[in-house]
Structure 1
């Protein structure tokens, strides 16, 4: 059974790797694997998201993925380092409205059995002395982050070690059980997985309506650098008025600061306005951030489905599958998406969180 995965972001690569582990012959097609939204992503793996309060099905999917991360990483690191850190996530409130949200979050996490601890301002200052004054914090010691810029090369290494192939070309069309490349070459398949983010629905040759439109939502992300890490663990700085940020430190002294939210179509331009917004916001929370070296500003296009939920599974077209539309949760949902897709590709029963997310819901 030959499977072609169109799209070499973290979702496509992880799907190909998990399928290859199950004995599937896999080929990944992407002109620059790991070079789009996943490359820009900070890779935070939080134990909670405000999006989940009234999204029971998405909550189940997220919790399933959270449970899978340790084993997913352990298996991947048989081939290469993954960039995974499970050293905690700290959410901190900088104003009264954020404090109320934080208390609601803590109660919600406790109801789910997620290990979370409320911290005093003094305890937060001990954990993250670089922060300005905070009102309170919630520590999730069992969560953390992964560096997609390490994770994606590891996945490519693992795919190739298992006999898979990565073709660095663009895919333009699907027809007659072949994927047509941008140079005219054709790659045959028994099954194909469309995992090209917000470009997925632009692949030609499929019946109208078979692939839901995936909308791009730009996010600009800032990277700063110091000789030693400024923060000790991944954090979310919570404040009202759109000032909240996530802050992901790397062991080499990099600090990833994100992000903006921009409805600008397929524009991937990084802008002075985006840079200024992120610098202004992070300076509110970390008074000494101005001394860090400016390393990079990048932009990624988050893939948003029509209903804002992931699209994972078989389409109405026989042998054509889809794994896209993860919006802000692509890295977070990588293990469970890869597991579900590997089940579909091997004709086994997927995880019980899978059925609500198939493309068939749009048919």
Structure 2
């Protein structure tokens, strides 16, 4: 199935295509195989937040370091993709506001601010009146906000189109609609497993429902990404908005439910009443690739070094794509980079 190539990449989402593009640039022959359409899985319904600061967790310092590193690469990564393909990827250095609706959430934001101070990342406390000057559509009942100017966003569907085109122009062999029951059986020098929630143990699917909204009058409701306890609103900059997302342990179920839609609109409407006036253009459901510790699997398999893992990115696949692609490509080229996400930490689960 992969005769004559140095690298077979299983999975044609953002991570898989980024790995393939970077590996081909290093002179390797590459084929990408996907069970469906290229980019038709998790990546297609992603929010596109580049948010290492908003996602910062004191128990995941190595992941924060990788996220910050990848975020720094994003402007050049996006510019190179646009230059190579002539396609825009929707990269926006818009910043993010974390917002609180009530006293409990405001107290939680104060703790989040203190945490970010300890982690050494940039965040600023913003009083409600100042937050509404930044984003006038916010409700008067807003209690507090944190400004995270370094957290940006990209349009995943535009990104996927550009990555696929960059791969084509570079000579990557693209093979959608191809089932790969056993990646180890592929006839290639190295095999990169980038199949997201379909990668197998210890990666599991975590369901997320979301909505695509549109303002027919154009952009202007909000400019920054807004995040609150349990949701987020991501402007695309052209009148389109992404409202997400639920977090559900439901296996591979991708049904959009009335309750999921209701809760998303209810919570968003409390903070940005104008959301309820937008057109609902699409209901979405994706499966995040989660691991037991929520950190990705990046590196050679402990039992079969021919297999390289590039999966388990959970909510950070789009953010971590540039760094993951560079780490995996270095491994494929024999440079064996050191990093904190070796698949060996779940070797027993993988073997099972």
TM-score (norm: length of structure 1): 0.87
Matched, 1:89 2:96: yes
Q: Pairwise CA RMSD of aligned residues? A: 1.8
3-state DSSP of counterpart to 1:172: coil
Q: How does 1:222-233 map to 2 (within 5 A)?
A: 222-226=211-215, 227-229=217-219, 230-233=221-224
Q: Deviations over 1:214-249 (max 9, x none)?
A: 1111100111110222211111134xxxxx311101
Q: Displacement, 1:34?
A: 0.8
| Paired residues for 1:228-247 under 5 Å | 228-229=218-219, 230-238=221-229, 244-247=230-233
Question: In the alignment, what sits opposite 1:357?
Answer: 341
Q: Which runs of 5+ in 1 are unaligned?
A: 180-187, 202-211, 239-243
| Distance in 2 between residues matched to 1:219 and 1:336, nearest whole Å | 24
The count of residues paired between Structure 1 and Structure 2 equals: 336
Q: Do the aligned residues in 2 keep the contact of 1:309 with 1:325 (CA within 8 Å)?
A: yes
Whether 1:255 aligns to 2:247 is no
3-state DSSP of counterpart to 2:207: strand
Runs of 4 or more above 6 Å deviation: none
Q: Is the deviation greater in 66-75 or in 155-164? A: 66-75
Q: Deviations over 1:181-230 (max 9, x none)?
A: xxxxxxx31111011111112xxxxxxxxxx3311111001111102222
1:3 alignment partner in structure 2: 7
Distance 1:66 1:24 in 2: 26
- Name the structure where strand makes up a greater proportion of residues: 1
Mapped to 1, the partners of 2:309 and 2:344 lie a distance apart of 10
Alignment of structure 1 residues 87-126 onto 2, 5 Å: 87-126=94-133
Cα drift, residue 159 of structure 1: 1.0
The answer to whether the 8 A contact 1:47-1:140 is kept is no
| 1:174-323 pair list within 5 angstroms | 174=182, 178-179=185-186, 188-201=187-200, 212-226=201-215, 227-229=217-219, 230-238=221-229, 244-315=230-301, 316-323=303-310
> How many Å apart are 1:297 and its aligned residue?
0.8
1:39·1:149 contact (CA, 8 Å) conserved in 2? yes
In the aligned structure 2, how far is the partner of 1:29 from the partner of 1:137? 43
CA contact under 8 A between 1:48 and 1:105: conserved in structure 2? no
Q: Which SS does the other structure have where 1:138 is aligned? A: strand
After superposition, the C-alpha distances for 1:291-344 in whole angstroms (9 at most, x for unaligned) are: 111111110011112332211110021311111111111112111111111111
2:19 counterpart (9, 15, 19): 15
For 1:59, what is the secondary structure of its paired residue? helix
- TM-score, normalised via structure 2 length: 0.90
2:180 & 2:33 partners in 1: Cα distance?
Answer: 11
Q: Contact (CA 8 Å) 2:53, 2:148: kept in 1 or not?
A: no
Q: In the alignment, is the contact (CA less than 8 A) between 2:206 and 2:251 conserved in 1?
A: yes
Shift of 1:346: 0.8
In 2, the alpha carbon distance for the partners of 1:256 and 1:153 equals 18
